[in-house]
Chain A
Amino acid sequence: MLVDDDWLKEFLIQEDFKALPSVISVRNLNLWFGSTHVLKSINLEIKRNRITAIIGPSGCGKTTLIRTFNRMCDLDNARVEGEILFDGYNIIGDDVDVVELRRRIGMVFQKPNPFPKSIFENVAYGPLIHGVRSKSKLYRIVQESLERAALWDEVKDRLKDNALSLSGGQQQRLCIARALAVNPEVLLMDEPCSALDPVSTAKIEDLMLDLKESLTIVIVTHNMQQAARVSDYTAFLYMGELVEFGPTSIIFERPREEKTKAYITGRFG
């Protein structure tokens, strides 16, 4: 051996998609708003400790799709048919404990939406409503969550300040910390950077890559570059149909479908 070859193993080992454990399996999911058929027979596997991006033009149903994963679609008066398997249970159905489901599948929204309370109270809100009463334990959870969200160093001296006094990017990381505080297994992110500047966006993207060590992330984004940067798998949704789903590297280098190609190259229509 002239040169050791270990480094070769480090990159471009195409992992076996089928062998990875799925956290959420979407099977033949259909969704209607009134008489509008919004999601049409979606089949999708969300893999553990991976970032799955859902991309597509506005109105293609991508936000609607992830809102079914934690049943936020209930708020939108949607009619859902099909299966979403999470932890072996079909979470589409009236007998599901939505509160527990939403604790295990957290969500971060498009606009940073901290409560108009202090930073501490924001992060402590989740644990509080789930019954954590001990002050010291709460403090520990808040610190851990803020550390995981890479915000602790910036706010540790001002936990009592109103969360709205933070910058937009910090607010969004606070929202991530708030979601992490209830220790979810999956984090749904609905265009989390669309209201943020490039540096804040980069920080959140770094954060996502750190977080995927410990949880599964599904991100909806209209920013294809962002999907390319952070995700492991990409699903392209168009007019409520799942056009293509696969490893991000392949979707962006050599997509199979004409529609995907047209969308990611910006030559749509």
Chain B
Amino acid sequence: MGNVSQTGNNRRVSGLLNPSRSRRSWVEFLIEKALLAAGLFAVIFVVLIFAYIIYEAVPFFLQVNPLEFFLNIVWRPDSPTNPQYGLLPSLWGSFFITVMALAIAVPVGVVTAMYISQVARKLERSILKPLIEILAGIPSVVYGFFALVVLASVLSTLFGEAVVTRLNALNGAIILAVMALPTIISISEDSLTAVPKEYKEAALALGSSEWETLRNITLPAAKPGVLTAILLGFGRAIGETMAVLMATGNSPLLAFNPLQSILAMTALIARDFGEVAIGSTWYHSIFAVALVLLIITLLVNWVATSVVSKKIGWRIRR
């Protein structure tokens, strides 16, 4: 008996030591490395872009005092006599339209998300959700064109005399709001839907009405997700180029009137790059602006993801 079982064992062991082993592990090795390469590819690109932008921006800061860059309120790099490289107008322009866009998009987006996730019936949801996703898929140039042709006219008839320039900050902000909506809606909606059903049931079982439940329980529980949505919407808006370029009029002024033309950083980069001589101070100044923009977007993304990870941590603890 003992012998028989032992030979059985031996056979099995020799099966484990099959010669095909090395080939299989070779394939495993290849696949593993291929996956690593694919993963690294994206990382390498990010690093390369960052390095390149820094590399091109450094000469600018050698020629122009960084203090002047950050504090000067005039952007006139094309002046042959006294070129001025002030970041403030475009930085302000970007923030101005982004904040206005969010002021419109956040309430609309969050309320829509609340409606879709909590109130809407199945049929409504199955119509609304794809529609909003289509909104995300429209090319930005189409939005820009719409703002340039239709929205601008509507605004000038609406506000009449108050309109300083036909293409203005408000025009850009509205179109940016529409573009940020899908992001805000779909991420808030996900996080609202992800609020455990148990919370809602507990609140309802205590005798809260639907609205009390949504306001006191569901929304606070989904808050990290909604914050993430807002931050990603912010990132979407501040990084948008084409629609802003087409909608805002692009005059590099420090304007506080929403009905006046402004110049956003993205629009500045896109506009000025067409006419600049490679290697000039102006050329390098554009990279400096791009660096600032890149840092802002990275910051926003980092904050957004850290909020998301906090939310996930919270979920796991449950």
Most A CB within 10 A of own CB, among B203, B205, B212 = B205
Interface of chain B residues 102 through 155 with chain A (CB within 8 A) = none
Do B314 and A113 touch across chains, with their CB atoms under 8 A apart?
no
Nearest to B317 among chain A residues (CB) is A164
Q: Is the interface of B mostly helix, strand, loop or mixed?
A: helix
The stretch that binds B, out of A96-104, A149-157, A247-255, is A96-104
Residue numbers in A under 8 Å from B314 (CB-CB): 116
Interface residue? A70 (CB, 8 A): yes
Among residues 29 to 78 in chain A, which have CB atoms less than 8 Å away from a CB atom of chain B?
70, 72, 75
Closest approach, in angstroms, between the C-beta of B198 and any C-beta of chain A?
Answer: 4
Shortest CB-to-CB span from B147 to chain A, Å, is 41
Q: How far is the CA of A114 from the CA of B209 in the complex (A)?
A: 18
Inter-chain contact A115/B217, CB cutoff 8 Å: yes
Query: Roughly how many angstroms separate A111 CA and B204 CA in the complex, as a whole number?
Result: 16
A118 to chain B, nearest CB (A): 12
Residue of B with least CB distance to A125 = B206
B199 at the interface (CB under 8 A from A): yes
- Let me know if A256 is at the binding interface, CB within 8 A: no
Name the segment of A81-89, A175-183, A198-206 touching the other chain.
Answer: A175-183
Question: Does B202 touch A at the CB level, under 8 Å?
Answer: yes
Complex CA–CA separation, A197 to B192 (angstroms): 31
| Contact yes or no, A130 B207, CB < 8 A | yes
Residues A177-227 near B (CB distance < 8 A): 178-179, 182
Segment 158-179 of A: residues with Cβ below 8 Å from B: 164, 175, 178-179
**Chain B residues within 8 Å of A115, by CB:** 199, 202-203, 217, 221
Please tell me if the beta carbons of B198 and A126 are within 8 angstroms of each other in the complex: no
Interface hits, B210-246 → A, CB 8 Å: 212, 216-217, 220-221
CB distance from B203 to the nearest CB of A (A): 7
* Known contacts A116-B314, A125-B216; A111/B198 CB under 8 A: yes
Report A138 CB to chain B, min CB distance, Å.
14
Tell me which of B202, B203, B209 has the highest count of chain A C-beta atoms within 10 A of its own C-beta: B202
Tell me, yes or no, whether A240 is within 8 Å of chain B by CB.
Answer: no
Size band of the interface chain B makes with A = 20 to 34
- Asked if A109 lies at the interface with its beta carbon under 8 angstroms from chain B, I say yes
Asked if B209 and A99 make an inter-chain contact with CB atoms under 8 angstroms apart, the answer reads yes
In the complex, the chain B residue whose C-beta lies closest to that of A164 is B317
User: A179–B208 Cα gap in the complex (Å)?
Assistant: 12
Question: Nearest Cβ distance between residue B310 and chain A, in whole angstroms?
Answer: 12
B residues in contact with A179, CB < 8 Å: 205-206
A70 and B206 CA atoms in complex are apart in Å by 10
Smallest CB gap from A122: residue in B: B202
For window 284-318 of chain B, which residues contact chain A by CB distance below 8 Å? 314, 317-318
Complex: chain B residue closest to A97, CB-CB: B207
A113-B198, A113-B199, A115-B199 known; A107 and B205 CB under 8 Å? Answer: yes
Does residue B78 face the partner (Cβ distance < 8 Å to A)? no
B196 neighbours in A (Cβ, 8 Å): 113
How far in angstroms is the closest Cβ of chain B from A223? 20
* B207 contact set on A, CB distance < 8 A: 99-103, 126, 129-130, 182
With A102-B206, A129-B216 known, 16 other A-B pairs at CB within 8 A are A99-B208, A102-B205, A103-B206, A103-B207, A107-B205, A109-B201, A113-B199, A113-B202, A115-B199, A116-B314, A125-B203, A126-B207, A129-B207, A178-B206, A179-B206, A182-B206
A interface list, Cβ under 8 A from B: 70, 72, 75, 99-103, 106-107, 109, 111, 113-117, 125-126, 129-130, 164, 175, 178-179, 182
Nearest 6 A/B pairs, CB to CB: A113-B198, A103-B207, A107-B205, A102-B207, A126-B206, A99-B207
